[in-house]
Amino acid sequence: MHPIRHCRFTAIDFESAGASRGKTDSPVQVGLASWCAADGHADAFVSYLHTDQPILWSAQKVHGISALDLADAPPLLTLWPEVKSRLAGAVVVAHGKGTEKRFLRAFPGHGFGPWIDTLLLARAAWPDLPDHSLGALCAAHDLTATIRALVALRWWHDALFDAVASLVLLAHVVESHALLDEPLEVLLYPDTSSWHARRRS
């Protein structure tokens, strides 16, 4: 495994239309951004995504995306060159990676990875915190202003804002725990046993 300081990390985040009973969910926005220890933050990309599904009120209440925003949006499949150029060869990052991995199945056999889940990483790093949601973690560690400086005019539950937030959180874990010269696997397989023990108690 390469040392963390030599790795390129690319975060991805999707916002979705919300799933009606008996139907699958559909992405309506994607955001990607990269970070490495040597060069910092770069390569931001965001796009609304066409969907044939209506955006549920419950989802729109969270992210604020409406059908009007999607009027000229491309389908996810047409963004393959953009997604591939950013994720290929990178360590892929997401906060609660299940949704992102599921939507990327639109590209069969893409081979992206390895994956870092900053939710699991934060539970390992700070098991005593009461809330490990992305916003709560960034607030607890005074990271929100840093994110706002990198992503002006956006806010939580925007796909690019959340992607950048997961990278800022990752960088904070790496720096605060002095992990730059550790092998990448310490981020891939975080020890969440202390968090699980606290949950059981």
Domain that holds residue 125: 4-200
Number of neighbouring beta carbons within 10 Å of residue 65: 22
CA angle 12, 171, 101 (to 5 degrees): 25
Query: Residue 109: what pLDDT?
Result: 84
The total of structural domains in the chain comes to 1
CATH assignment at residue 48: 3.30.420.10
Rg (CA), the chain: 17
Question: Which pTM does this prediction carry?
Answer: 0.95
CB 34 within 8 A of CB 90: yes
Which has the closest alpha carbon to 9: 100, 111, 86, 62? 86
Query: Residue 97: what pLDDT?
Result: 95
Q: Mean pLDDT of successive 10-residue segments in the chain (201 residues)?
A: 93 92 86 97 97 92 94 96 95 96 91 96 97 98 97 96 98 97 96 93 79
User: Phi/psi of residue 34, each to 5°?
Assistant: -125, 155
